[in-house]
Structure 1
Amino acid sequence: MKRAMISLALGAVVAGFSLWSAMWVLPLPQRLAEADSTVVEWRNGEPAHVFLAPDGRWRLQTQLKKVDPHYIEALIGYEDKRFYTHGGIDLRAIVRATTSNIRHGRVVSGASTLTMQLVRMVEPRPRTLRSKIIEAFRAAQLEQHLSKDEILAAYLKFLPFGRNVEGLETAAWMYFGHDATALSPAEIATLLAVPQSPNQRYPTPKNAARLRSARADIAAELLEAARLLRGAAPENLSDAQALAQIEAQPLPTRLRSMPREMPHFAIWLRQQYPGVPRLRSTIDASTQRTVEKFATSHRGRIMRLGANNAAVVVIDHESGALRAALGNFDFDDLINQGQIPGFAVRRSSGSLLKPIILAQAIDAGIALPSHLVADVPVDYSGYQPQNYSEEFNGLVRLDDALSRSLNIPFVRLVERLGVAPFLEMLRRLGAEGIDPRPGYYGLSVAIGGISATPLEIAGMYTALARRGERAPLYFLKADEDADYGNAFAYRRGSFSPGAARLVAEVMSQRGRPDSLALRRIRATPNRYAWKTGTSMGLRDAWTAGFGAQHTAAIWTGNFDNRGQTGVVGSQAAAPLFFDIMEAVDSGLNFAAMTPESASTTAIDELSEVEVCAYSGHLPTSACTHKKTVQIPTDSTPTAPCPFHTLRDIDEATGLALNLECRQSRPHQTRSYVVWPTSVRRTMKDAGYKLPAKPPGFAPGCGPSGYDTRPSIVSPAPDTVFALLSDISPAEQMLPLIAETHEAGARFSWFVNGEYLGSAPSGEALWWEPKRGAHEIVVSDARGGSARVRVLIE
């Protein structure tokens, strides 16, 4: 007998050790690690787009600390009163249930703890005695590995609520349309009733009677046990009255659809942060829906112009928060690649970078909006940029060039700034797609040679809206539960506040292009700073700009890169830009920034300087009229007016005199406007009246020999020309042009030492080129000369 007792004890010890070992050796149920549904939220925390969990269920993340504590109290009071004291198996409950079931001759009570129920949720088995034993073991195992709060959180995560709905948070949204942080007594009783028989009680008209009865039974039991929050004025309510209030509450009769708004942004954001169950975005629901409404209303018009795709980005530039992101017209439009998130696709920027070029040039002291600049044909070693109209204006103010989106003046500005410094500016502004290889880009960066996403374009434009400082662009709102880090890169100090303001004023001078059609709607439209862009081949049409609070970028085009004649920024994108901005932004108010009303800081950003009224440059003694303009306080242009010149004119001959000659001859000092030869030729071809040339110098009274030497206007030094094999060389002749200040000068031209012919100053001598390297020399009668080298391929 003693030996038997010892054997029994040893067996018990071995069995106990084996069970204990198994609890630590055997892995926990695999489904406990199942990922939740990813939820992308609006800025206010409400779900905007919910994805199915990987196992095909709707299962929102349920955070225990955010669950209504009254629900937790009711759950434990109804399902497992000793949850916090037992080890996964409640022996007292087992004895009670066994006794009750024997007495009634059927199963009327269960003894499953919350932990055992959790095991059944994640490892469903047939309802047999063997399954009960396994569940008891698994429950004990979970209690060894997890805290009570972790077990409770897992329980709430996997609670079944009918069909493919799991979890308390999911049920709260799909049953009642809100989260589980604050639940009414009727809602608590409903959420306790459904998991007991999910498919028989989930909200549907067929289940309504069963759900109503179960809700009443559970509410009555909890009220009696003082485990359920009473309704209004609880201190004056009896149990019966409280139950009557609960029964009077309407039942949910259907499962609400999970929100699936802004699909492009939601999918893109989930790809940026894989595995994060809850992404609190900065997107504002009202702004996003406004953008979608106007995009839909403009869709037919834009598609008739030839663009089947569109993208919109709206940023609150004061905070840097992304407020709206539209990826395309229609996510379900498979024919036109509707599922591509256009706001994150790089496209040719067209003319959108011109305001940035102007701001950088202003800070560099080489440009002002008032500057008169050349708009003439240019040739940079074979690169011959054109204006969109394929016409040239000769001379144009820079502010007018920006408003009309002329190309040549801005290509010339980038030439003066340098391509590398301009690219560095773009990088500081957030352009992330720039190729780092030296020499990869040329002057075409000024007019579409850089590709950027609408997100990047809008981010760049915030620097113009924020007095020269780019906004700290971000699209996730950090809070105490965030599982992600900072979602933006902060780059400061792009250009000066004064330059930003001057450019913004130029950008806001024009109203919306369709203003005549909309005049009946708004007599005094809001003012916005804006710029259009159209890529080569008419593949991309942009409009970007800003108001008082928001910066927006709109792209329209085709993802298959088809060009269409109607895909032009002012026609396709601009009307949509203005409709959106007028709905979400109050517009700019430059009147508030006048010297009389501006703050001290605003006044200090700009200073006044006197310039030539004709050219906008610093005046010389030859400038007869002057005016005052504003310039950035820390950046002063130094180049004098290049167009006005003074000549001392001999009263007898009408010819110009130098310093020595004028001392012995009666003369008058006169001011003349002198246009470069390229400008005169362009203006003459366009039919403009040309200013009279200054008279030439009298014989023996010219300026220094250096000044009288000819300068070659065409061709440019080190130019490479390519002859077309299918066209006769005689039809590809090159103009040789030189100019000088001397009156009546005539030049002789030589190519590789051989005399070619002669031509007057400013006029062309045509040369039939041959392949190879050539040295071209021009000389005058005094022996002055100039030379250039060209390569003909």
Structure 2
Amino acid sequence: MKEGGQKSSNVLKKWLRPSRFWLFITPFLLFLLLDVAIPFKVSPRYSTLITASDGTILHAFLNDDDKWRLYTELEEITPVLRQTILQKEDRYFYYHPGFNPFALGRAFLKNTMTGRRSSGASTITMQVVRLLEPRQRTYLSKAIELFRAMQLELHYSKDEILQLYLNLIPYGGNIEGMKSASLLYFGKLPQLLSLAEITTLTIIPNRPSSLRLGRKNVFIVQERNKWLRRFEKAALFDKQVIADAINEPLNAYRREAPKLAPHLAFRLRKEHKNTPIIRTAILPTRQAQVEQMTRNYVNRLQSMDIHNAAVIVVNNETMRVEAYVGSADFNNPYDGGQVDGIRAVHSPGSTLKPLLYAIAFDKGMITPKSAINDVPTNFGGFEPENFDRRFNGKVTIEFALANSLNIPAVKVLKELTPSVLIGYLKKSDFQTVKKQSKDLGLSMILGGCGVTLEELTRLFTSFANGGKIHGLNYSADTKKSKGEVLISPESAYLINGILTQITRPDLPNNFDNTYHLPRIAWKTGTSYGKKDAWSIGYNRRYTVGVWVGNFSGVGVPELNGANIATPLLFDVFNAVDYNSPTGWFKPAADITRRKVCAESGDVPSDFCTHQILDYAIMGISSTRKCQHLKWVLTDKNAEISYCTQCIPDSGYVRKLYPNMAPELIAYNELNHIPFQRIPPHNPKCTRVFEVGAPVITSPNDGSEYFLENQELQLACQASNDVREVYWYINDKLIQKTNPQTALFVKPPVGKVKISCSDDKGRNVDVFIKVLSR
């Protein structure tokens, strides 16, 4: 035993002698040095592939070299594919260091004996090198390939090298890679290929010119079956499996690459450059369904000169975008089919009103039953009208939102201030509003700003998510974000209740009380000039945004949110979530119900005989007492009213009279709506009142007017107890009229002071500038 151990020790010492050690290690060190000095850069440029949530392909793009080189993932390399490709190309792939020395020696002897190159002995690794760095077929090139192959083996696993090979093998023309050929010739992914199809694709790369799929299928079947019989001899697969593969017909021909969701595909490709596979949250059947519905719907609108639409479908539970239709027909260049209507900036019309009222609910300014006047109003020169150009007098906030009235919305925004609404829109990431914020005013609530369908739809998801706003998820791998509180759950619940009502003017014609109406909350909008029609709807599960119009910006008289955009919204909702099992929105924790005065929506006073139930937010909603009536001192016949300074000794009575705003009085007078007027004040009273002066509605204070053969209108609104007003220009009395009568005058050129006094001695002044040529 000692003698044997001594011999082993001597052999080891012999090999560890410095000269022999360095002779052994030097080639290895030299290889490592060359590997650092001449690194092998493996960076093939792949095509971009857009996949749906289930992994199916939505859209495929050529790479930068105009080649179809789709990226094959490791999990797509099935055992059958692996066995087939290794049996044919490199049976010892998992055992050699990048080259097969025995195969190389055999090839060298054979080539030397024949005097020509008849065998290359290239391994899969060496073929990858050749595909990445093509060279002339020389012995020097072979040596370089050997070196590069060892580099590949050093830095990549065997599976990764096999993956590279499957991604680069040529199939003729501009098609490279197993996945590209599988998709373009068989219309399926590699993991779905049969043994016969896999064998077909393994024999093409060696002879891509002579074995042209779709043209020489009969010849290809013969070659395929030869290899299948070889696999049978090698006992690679069961005999029955081989027999089935041999009898399988070859149904291969050049197919078009998938082109679903083109707008989203182009968008994501631009946002995720050099990403070979982009996994979206799109549901392929839903995407195809919504695309077809949008195309068919717009085709029916062509006769009205309406040529486009965009639809986005968002799952509120995950915030995933399940359908994305940027236009009615991407391939229609005449109507701007390649414009992405989901990201195009348009006027929102009335679609921002729900957010405005939700903010006002949270500020305690209003509740659903709060009264507000829908009457002609001048907001410093801005005189909005309703869509139907009619006014409704005193209405509730609930009615104003459900009927999308304009004047109440502007009044609420004026009290709230535009800067507050802009702040909320910035928080909701409205990009164009951020840019326009310095120039936005009261008109923004009626569409005087720029928004996108994507932004609006995301905003409406906050109503479905209890007031929290989340980012939209276009990727199937992205989870729903924590979200940011935009409005309270209580405010969101109140908005949901109002927008669910179906007794409203924006219900499409012939939809009332039909089975076509899904249970959703929705809001419509129509931009100025009838260029944009909107309809955004939601329930607990989905939010769907619809825009209809022309990308050219041409307005159409028939275009409006109710009759043009909403039918498509209903169709989409009925398709994606008809009879939703998820139930409806539940009241938020701090929602309460209370009795309010039906006339004002405020907490009832003693004189409030007609009371109704209203929602309120505990600790937030206003608790002010109702003042829709006020006590007035009059004589026994109610012909003269008194103030506290002129009460007669002969006695008086105390009576309740309507406490109406001047604007509502003017509206009632103009429309001959009867109301109880306060008797004229005691003419013998010399007191001058400090509050309740008339409001001059025309002209506008601080404005400039160019008058050429024209007269200027003087108009005002006065209190309930005012019978006469007096008009002055530059402190000179012009005329005495009743408050409801407009007066036309021709003022002097220059700076002009216009004054209005009522019969109580209350006065108001405005200053204007009159210009002339």
User: Which segment drifts farther, 289-298 or 246-255?
Assistant: 246-255
Q: Aligned pair in 2 of structure 1 residues 373, 772: CA closer, same or farther (>3 Å)? A: farther
**Structure 2 residue 109 is matched with structure 1 residue 117:** no
Confirm or deny: 8 A CA contact 1:540 1:568 kept in the other structure: yes
Q: Name structure 1 gaps, 5 residues minimum.
A: 1-11, 231-239, 480-485
The structure 2 residue matched to 1:159, chosen from 159, 164, 169, is 169
Distance in 1 (alpha carbons) for counterparts of 2:717 and 2:569 = 48
User: Which segment drifts farther, 661-670 or 411-420?
Assistant: 661-670
Deviation at 1:771, TM superposition (A): 4.5
Confirm or deny: 8 A CA contact 1:751 1:777 kept in the other structure: yes
**Structure 2 residue 768 is matched with structure 1 residue 768:** no
Q: Aligned pair in 2 of structure 1 residues 278, 111: CA closer, same or farther (>3 Å)? A: same
The structure 2 residue matched to 1:537, chosen from 517, 523, 529, is 529
Task: Name 1:650's counterpart in structure 2.
Answer: 635
Structure 1 segment 373-452 matched on structure 2, within 5 A? 373-435=372-434, 439-452=438-451
Distance in 2 (alpha carbons) for counterparts of 1:590 and 1:323 = 18
**Structure 2 residue 287 is matched with structure 1 residue 288:** yes
Show CA shifts across 1:296-325 (max 9, x none): 111133333333222111111121111111
Q: Which letter maps to 1:376?
A: V
Deviation at 1:503, TM superposition (A): 1.7
Q: Which letter maps to 2:243?
A: A
Task: Name 2:710's counterpart in structure 1.
Answer: 729
Q: Aligned pair in 2 of structure 1 residues 659, 185: CA closer, same or farther (>3 Å)? A: same
Confirm or deny: 8 A CA contact 2:47 2:61 kept in the other structure: yes
Task: Name 1:574's counterpart in structure 2.
Answer: 566
Once superposed, what is the RMSD of the aligned Cα atoms?
A: 3.7
Task: Name 2:548's counterpart in structure 1.
Answer: 556
Confirm or deny: 8 A CA contact 1:393 1:682 kept in the other structure: no
Task: Name 2:222's counterpart in structure 1.
Answer: 213
Distance in 1 (alpha carbons) for counterparts of 2:652 and 2:148 = 114
Q: How many residues align?
A: 749
Q: Aligned pair in 2 of structure 1 residues 90, 524: CA closer, same or farther (>3 Å)? A: closer
**Structure 2 residue 452 is matched with structure 1 residue 474:** no
Distance in 2 (alpha carbons) for counterparts of 1:770 and 1:466 = 60
The structure 1 residue matched to 2:486, chosen from 482, 494, 509, is 494
Task: Name 1:753's counterpart in structure 2.
Answer: 731
The structure 2 residue matched to 1:79, chosen from 81, 89, 103, is 89
Confirm or deny: 8 A CA contact 1:394 1:680 kept in the other structure: no
Q: Which letter maps to 2:703?
A: F
The structure 2 residue matched to 1:506, chosen from 498, 503, 506, is 498
**Structure 2 residue 718 is matched with structure 1 residue 739:** yes
Task: Name 2:266's counterpart in structure 1.
Answer: 267
Confirm or deny: 8 A CA contact 1:720 1:792 kept in the other structure: no
Q: Aligned pair in 2 of structure 1 residues 457, 408: CA closer, same or farther (>3 Å)? A: same
State the identity %.
Answer: 29
Distance in 1 (alpha carbons) for counterparts of 2:582 and 2:172 = 59
Distance in 2 (alpha carbons) for counterparts of 1:411 and 1:213 = 78
**Structure 2 residue 288 is matched with structure 1 residue 278:** no
**Structure 2 residue 618 is matched with structure 1 residue 633:** yes
Deviation at 1:627, TM superposition (A): 1.1
- The DSSP-based 3-state class of the residue aligned with 2:216 is helix
Task: Name 2:253's counterpart in structure 1.
Answer: 254
Q: Aligned pair in 2 of structure 1 residues 555, 516: CA closer, same or farther (>3 Å)? A: closer
Distance in 2 (alpha carbons) for counterparts of 1:170 and 1:135 = 26
Distance in 2 (alpha carbons) for counterparts of 1:589 and 1:15 = 71
Distance in 2 (alpha carbons) for counterparts of 1:474 and 1:518 = 33
Task: Name 1:299's counterpart in structure 2.
Answer: 298
Deviation at 1:407, TM superposition (A): 1.3
Q: Name structure 2 gaps, 5 residues minimum.
A: 1-23
User: What TM-score results when the alignment is normalised by the length of structure 1?
Assistant: 0.85
Deviation at 1:761, TM superposition (A): 4.9
Q: Aligned pair in 2 of structure 1 residues 305, 638: CA closer, same or farther (>3 Å)? A: farther
Deviation at 1:188, TM superposition (A): 3.7
Confirm or deny: 8 A CA contact 1:513 1:575 kept in the other structure: no
Distance in 2 (alpha carbons) for counterparts of 1:265 and 1:398 = 39
Deviation at 1:270, TM superposition (A): 0.9
User: Which segment drifts farther, 655-664 or 153-162?
Assistant: 655-664
Deviation at 1:667, TM superposition (A): 6.1
**Structure 2 residue 211 is matched with structure 1 residue 201:** yes
Task: Name 1:692's counterpart in structure 2.
Answer: 676
Show CA shifts across 1:400-438 (max 9, x none): 322332211111111011111111111222312223576
Confirm or deny: 8 A CA contact 1:200 1:210 kept in the other structure: no
Confirm or deny: 8 A CA contact 1:264 1:339 kept in the other structure: yes
- The DSSP-based 3-state class of the residue aligned with 1:734 is strand
Confirm or deny: 8 A CA contact 2:506 2:561 kept in the other structure: no
User: Which segment drifts farther, 385-394 or 556-565?
Assistant: 385-394
Q: Aligned pair in 2 of structure 1 residues 513, 624: CA closer, same or farther (>3 Å)? A: closer
Deviation at 1:517, TM superposition (A): 4.4
Task: Name 1:189's counterpart in structure 2.
Answer: 199
Distance in 2 (alpha carbons) for counterparts of 1:425 and 1:56 = 46
Distance in 2 (alpha carbons) for counterparts of 1:663 and 1:469 = 62
User: Which segment drifts farther, 352-361 or 210-219?
Assistant: 210-219
Q: Which letter maps to 1:787?
A: D
Confirm or deny: 8 A CA contact 2:418 2:442 kept in the other structure: yes
User: Which segment drifts farther, 188-197 or 770-779?
Assistant: 770-779
Q: Which letter maps to 1:673?
A: P
Show CA shifts across 1:97-121 (max 9, x none): 4566789999875511112222332
- The DSSP-based 3-state class of the residue aligned with 1:49 is strand
Confirm or deny: 8 A CA contact 2:311 2:545 kept in the other structure: yes
Deviation at 1:456, TM superposition (A): 0.4
Task: Name 2:9's counterpart in structure 1.
Answer: none
Q: Aligned pair in 2 of structure 1 residues 705, 587: CA closer, same or farther (>3 Å)? A: farther
Confirm or deny: 8 A CA contact 1:331 1:338 kept in the other structure: yes
Confirm or deny: 8 A CA contact 1:68 1:183 kept in the other structure: no
Task: Name 2:65's counterpart in structure 1.
Answer: 55
Q: Which letter maps to 1:630?
A: Y
User: Which segment drifts farther, 619-628 or 503-512?
Assistant: 503-512
Confirm or deny: 8 A CA contact 2:698 2:713 kept in the other structure: no
Confirm or deny: 8 A CA contact 1:380 1:719 kept in the other structure: no
Show CA shifts across 1:547-577 (max 9, x none): 3321111112222222222222223212111
Confirm or deny: 8 A CA contact 1:67 1:182 kept in the other structure: no
Deviation at 1:23, TM superposition (A): 6.1
- The DSSP-based 3-state class of the residue aligned with 1:434 is helix
Distance in 1 (alpha carbons) for counterparts of 2:94 and 2:318 = 46
Deviation at 1:336, TM superposition (A): 1.8
Confirm or deny: 8 A CA contact 2:694 2:757 kept in the other structure: no
Distance in 1 (alpha carbons) for counterparts of 2:608 and 2:745 = 39
Q: Aligned pair in 2 of structure 1 residues 546, 438: CA closer, same or farther (>3 Å)? A: closer
Structure 1 segment 596-675 matched on structure 2, within 5 A? 602=587, 604-652=589-637, 654-656=639-641, 669-675=654-660
Confirm or deny: 8 A CA contact 2:366 2:621 kept in the other structure: no
Distance in 2 (alpha carbons) for counterparts of 1:95 and 1:747 = 116
Distance in 1 (alpha carbons) for counterparts of 2:400 and 2:271 = 40
